[in-house]
Structures are given as structure tokens and as C-alpha cells.
């Protein structure tokens, strides 16, 4: 196998991404409700499936991006896809930055709570998507080096 592929690094990166994107959130969702005085809404069950599917996809993309060496087009493709799925993950997990909760308190009062952190998420999306730009720039910068290496391998 040529040196421009890194299978061990790919597995390590995929697992490293699965921990914060899948394992930790699912564990928190299973453990936290037992400590809260209120019942979590049913929508959170749908969110659990989403975290597993999109989180796993982001981890796989991260692994694939790590598998390919710098200057290979697939590293740029999977690297950008990884950042895109991360943005989607954050968007859905944090409800697009608009969280609104309504619940009753002992049939006496109705309590509502809302949080609008869209502006913060927009900056976070920009920071994450900047990494996608990084993968594209990296491909442009390392493309020539990669071609020279491929040529050297074929020639020798």
C-alpha cells in the first residue's frame, strides 16, 4: 500500500470523532433524565436516532479524510463532508439555536423558557466551515507534491 494512505490513523480519527459526536451525547441523554425533575419531551427520542446517524456519518467521513494523504482529492472531499456533517449535527442537536420549553408546575403555573443563540451558532458554523476551506486549500497546496510522489513511485 502506498504511504499516502493511513489506515491506522483513519481508525483512530474515526473513533476519536465518534466519542464526542455519538457516544458521549447518547450516554448523557440516557443518564441525565434520571437526575432531572421533569420528563424530557418525546422529540428527544428522535434526536437520539439523529445523533447516532449523523454523528456516525461525521465520524466515518473524518476517518476517510484521515485515510487519504494530503494532496489527494478524496481527502478534500471527505474532509469537507466531515465539516458539513458537523454543522448539520450542531444545527439539529441545538435546534438551530432556538430552544423553547413549556411545562406546567403542579397545575398551578405554566413556565416557559426560551434561548436564542443563533448568532453564536452562525459564528461556530463559520469556524467549522473554515476547516472545510482548509481541506480544499490543502488539496491545492499539496497536489503538486502528491503528483511528484506518484510519479516517483511509478518511475522507480
Separation between Cα atoms, residue 132 and residue 75, nearest integer Å: 11
The residue within the footprint of other proteins, chosen from 35, 119, 155, 156 (CB under 8 A), is 119
Q: Are 41 and 95 in contact (CB under 8 A)?
A: no
Q: Collect all residues with Cβ–Cβ distance below 8 Å to 19 and sequence separation of at least 6.
A: none
Minimum distance, C-beta of residue 106 to other proteins, in the bound complex (Å):
10
| Smallest distance from other proteins to CB 108, Å | 6
Residue 36 sits in the site that holds other proteins (CB under 8 A): no
**Count of other CB atoms within 10 angstroms of residue 5:** 13
Q: Which is nearer to other proteins, 48 or 116 (CB)?
A: 116
Q: Which of positions 70-109 make contact with other proteins (CB under 8 A)? A: 94, 105, 108-109
Our finding on whether 130 is near other proteins (CB under 8 A) is yes
**Min dist. Cβ of residue 73 to other proteins (A):** 16
Helix pair 43-67, 7-18: axis angle to 10 deg: 160
CA dist 13 and 99 (Å) reads: 31
CB of 7 or CB of 144, closer to other proteins: 144
Closest Cα to residue 69, out of 122, 110, 114, 9? 9
Q: Is 156 in the site for other proteins (CB under 8 A)?
A: no
C-alpha cell at 143: 497536489
Site for other proteins, rule CB under 8 A = 94, 105, 108-117, 119-121, 123-124, 126-128, 130-131, 133-134, 137-138, 140-142, 144-145, 148-149, 152
Amino acid at each position: 500500500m502506498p504511504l499516502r494512505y493511513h489506515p491506522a490513523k483513519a481508525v483512530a480519527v474515526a473513533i476519536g470523532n465518534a466519542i464526542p459526536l455519538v457516544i458521549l451525547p447518547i450516554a448523557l441523554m440516557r443518564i441525565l433524565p434520571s437526575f432531572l425533575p421533569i420528563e424530557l419531551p418525546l422529540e428527544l427520542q428522535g434526536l437520539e436516532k439523529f445523533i447516532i446517524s449523523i454523528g456516525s456519518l461525521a465520524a466515518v467521513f473524518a476517518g476517510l479524510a484521515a485515510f487519504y494523504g494530503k494532496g489527494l482529492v478524496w481527502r478534500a472531499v471527505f474532509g469537507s463532508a466531515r465539516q458539513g456533517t458537523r454543522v448539520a449535527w450542531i444545527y439539529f442537536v441545538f435546534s438551530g439555536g432556538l430552544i423553547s420549553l413549556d411545562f406546567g408546575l403542579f397545575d398551578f403555573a405554566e413556565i416557559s423558557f426560551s434561548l436564542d443563540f443563533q448568532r453564536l451558532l452562525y459564528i461556530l458554523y463559520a469556524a467549522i466551515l473554515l476547516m472545510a476551506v482548509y481541506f480544499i486549500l490543502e488539496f491545492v497546496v499539496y497536489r503538486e507534491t502528491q503528483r511528484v510522489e506518484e510519479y516517483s513511485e511509478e518511475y522507480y
